[in-house]
Amino acid sequence: MASLLVHAILPLVVVEAIPLTRGRRRKLRWLGVALACAPDLDMATFAFELRATDLWGHRGAWHSLGMAALAATVVSLIFFRLPPRGSAPGSHVRKALYWRSFAFLFAAAASHGVLDAFTAGEAGVALLWPLSTARWLSPLDIVAACPGGASEYFSHWGLLTVANELLFIVIPSLLLLGIYRHLARRPGTAPRVPIRRTAMRVALWLAIAVGARVALPETFATHLERRIEPMGTAIAGDPKDIPTRGLPDGRLVTSFDEVRQRGLLERTLAPRDAPWSSSFFPSWFGGEGGRWSEGSARLAYRTLTGFAPPSESEAKSWVARAASGDAEAQRRIFTLAPVEKVDLALGRLDFPATVQAQKLSHNGHPRYWSGRCNGVAAASMVEPEPFRVVDVTGVDGTHVRFHPNDVKSLLSVAYYEPQVKLSIGDNCNEVAFDAAAPCNMSPAVFLLALWNRLGIAEHTFIVDALPNIARQYYVVAEATVHLVRPPYPPDDAPMAAALRPKVRSVVDVTIDLTLSSTTLTYRDVDHLDPAVPDGTAYRKVGVVPVRMHFSATLALGDGTELLGGRWTGTPANGIDVVMDVDGPPKVLPNGRLEAADQVPWALVRAIAKASVLPPPALPTVDLRTDCEGCR
């Protein structure tokens, strides 16, 4: 998104071009700035688990032209009186002033969404709501968005963002204001600034703007040029790292002709076992140490202000009351955080697993993308989806019931460090306006993984789909590769010099991915199954699709062997990393998880197995007798 500075400056520039009284202009300056900045208040919706793609999420309905019209109407009626109908002396002047004020306020409010739509790196703006919920993003990028999160926004990257906005938005707006004043001056009056001086200023600005983008593209260009690069580097990824298990003769298919012969184009590729979707248990909400059922706003407040696990006396009181049949105490235990329940079941009233989890999240400034998305993605590839409530009898006889979402949270912790985890490509650790250019893996390597792992071996994998320092891991649920243009001569295609002598042809493809969401809200996973009346079963989530579309050009060598490629499209972004996982989690010699050394893997495994048992019987685990190694 554009910074609040440029959102505030634009109304201050525009209001000077409108014929108004001095008092009204002064009032409109403040109201225009307020309306231009107000749409970004929707960032608070993140605390209520509204995603950027939700209608009422960031850059949704609050950024629309419809909401701008509503806000301008309300503010105009409050601060400016609409003249009554009639022909009273001066009424036409007052009406003109009123409608000028309304038009300015509407333009100020609408400018926010329009400007965001012309900002590179955004997810689009719901400009036409309520007529349409579609997100709009201009193919013409004026400025780049500040990369990263709050830490980058309040660093030199924030200053560079403002510098871009001043150069490409504010200064040309001021120049346009000067030109407008020159053209709108009264006949016979001398211009404030001679037209020759204005023309020199425009020429100087053009020279600086063009020169900055050409000479310093990393700082002043919204997108860097993509060229066809070879495979085999750490960032591009190496085909030799793609696992060959499940492939005939253990051999990778690397020829484009063989890909076509095997029918891997123009058809849906899917794994034998479908994954399941989940929340990624954000650090903002406490992760596995957050009482997710109490609401995300409360969880975010606790993360910012600090939160401690229950005291020993408090926990003993809940246990005693629950044992005597107190429904409120039983409910209270059921709404504890997943690791609080683990501690309670193990009789550890100093709550070591909870304290450990809170150290990871309750630090006052966790990254908005921080969580267990790779863990829950890996778990969904290996484990069946939990859907039953599990009654665990603790080591001291305490009964603790685990919700299916508790089980998913514990599995996400366990599989955060699986025994087999192979990354192809490299995670992006670079902060830049166009971080995808240096960070994306080669589309050729990605497609080799897709065709071999998903298409032939029918085994899925995980991808990091955010082209920057943020991480969001998803499991590939389905994929289709379309041939856009058959192999053709490379001619003048932008290409690394070392690769050009080896390339015989290039081919254009598009890729449609259906990913299994790891960004569900807690509300999405908390629906009882009405077919099981005792309330011990919840509806399975299955695959909640996240659809992404990419396009690429691939370089082919002798025998149509894939040699490299580049991502194309607008924007020309692709996948950062492919991650293949297999086997159970990494476990320490004492049987506890490497990712959380206060949580026994045997306990998580026992609860997970019980949580997939069919109804009607209530799944149970007795730590006193049934679970070796659970303590």
What is the number of domains present in the chain? 3
CA-CA distances (angstroms) from residue 294 to 89, 390, 526, 528? 62, 20, 12, 17
Predicted confidence at residue 90, as pLDDT, reads 56
- End-of-domain residue from the set 203, 220, 237: 220
**Residue 596, domain extent:** 283-418+588-622
Predicted confidence at residue 191, as pLDDT, reads 65
What is the largest distance, in Å, between two alpha-carbon atoms of the chain?
100
Beta bridge partners of 565: 229, 554
Predicted confidence at residue 124, as pLDDT, reads 82
Lookup: tokens for 1? 């998104």
Beta bridge partners of 119: 143
Q: Are residues 168 and 250 in the same domain?
A: no
Q: Are residues 400 and 497 in the same domain?
A: no
Q: Are residues 399 and 478 in the same domain?
A: no
Q: Is residue 428 assigned to a domain?
A: no
Collect all residues with Cβ–Cβ distance below 8 Å to 111 and sequence separation of at least 6.
Answer: 7, 10, 11, 36
Predicted confidence at residue 188, as pLDDT, reads 64
Q: Are residues 578 and 599 in the same domain?
A: no
pLDDT tens digit sequence for 587-612:
999 999 999 999 999 999 999 999 99
φ and ψ at residue 414, rounded to 5 degrees: -60, -50
Q: How far apart are CA 454 and CA 259, in angstroms?
A: 13
User: Where are any strands of DSSP class E within 457-569?
Assistant: 462-464, 473-488, 505-516, 545-556, 562-568
Q: Are residues 33 and 157 in the same domain?
A: yes
CA-CA distances (angstroms) from residue 606 to 337, 365, 540, 588, 619? 18, 34, 19, 17, 10
Q: Is residue 268 assigned to a domain?
A: yes
Q: Are residues 15 and 71 in the same domain?
A: yes
Q: Is residue 425 assigned to a domain?
A: no
Q: Is residue 629 assigned to a domain?
A: no
Predicted confidence at residue 580, as pLDDT, reads 94
Question: Which among 358, 361, 323, 327 is positioned nearest to 340, based on CA atoms?
Answer: 358
Q: Is residue 424 assigned to a domain?
A: no
Q: How far apart are CA 429 and CA 439, in angstroms?
A: 8
CA-CA distances (angstroms) from residue 148 to 151, 187, 430? 7, 52, 10
Q: Is residue 555 assigned to a domain?
A: yes
Q: Are residues 455 and 552 in the same domain?
A: yes
Q: Are residues 481 and 567 in the same domain?
A: yes
Instruction: Count the neighbouring beta carbons within 10 Å of the beta carbon of residue 459.
Output: 18
CA angle 312, 318, 321 (to 5 degrees): 135
Predicted confidence at residue 238, as pLDDT, reads 95
Q: Is 588 helix (H, G, I), strand (E, B) or coil?
A: coil
How many Å is the Cα radius of gyration of the chain? Answer: 29
Residues of the chain with pLDDT under 70: 1, 47, 49, 83-91, 121-122, 186, 188-193, 362-369
Q: Are residues 208 and 321 in the same domain?
A: no
User: Where are any strands of DSSP class E within 84-227?
Assistant: 119-120, 143-144
Asked if 279 contacts 519 with a C-beta cutoff of 8 angstroms, the reply is yes
Q: Are residues 403 and 474 in the same domain?
A: no
CA-CA distances (angstroms) from residue 618 to 349, 397, 612? 26, 17, 11
Beta bridge partners of 556: 505, 562
Predicted confidence at residue 364, as pLDDT, reads 52
CA-CA distances (angstroms) from residue 563 to 228, 283, 438, 560? 9, 40, 18, 9
Predicted confidence at residue 22, as pLDDT, reads 83
Q: Is residue 429 assigned to a domain?
A: no
Q: How far apart are CA 448 and CA 555, in angstroms?
A: 13
Q: How far apart are CA 37 and CA 1, in angstroms?
A: 12
Q: How far apart are CA 198 and CA 190, in angstroms?
A: 14
Predicted confidence at residue 190, as pLDDT, reads 63
Q: Are residues 273 and 299 in the same domain?
A: no
Q: Are residues 331 and 380 in the same domain?
A: yes
Q: Is residue 630 assigned to a domain?
A: no
Cα end-to-end distance, the chain, whole Å:
49
Asked if 479 contacts 511 with a C-beta cutoff of 8 angstroms, the reply is yes
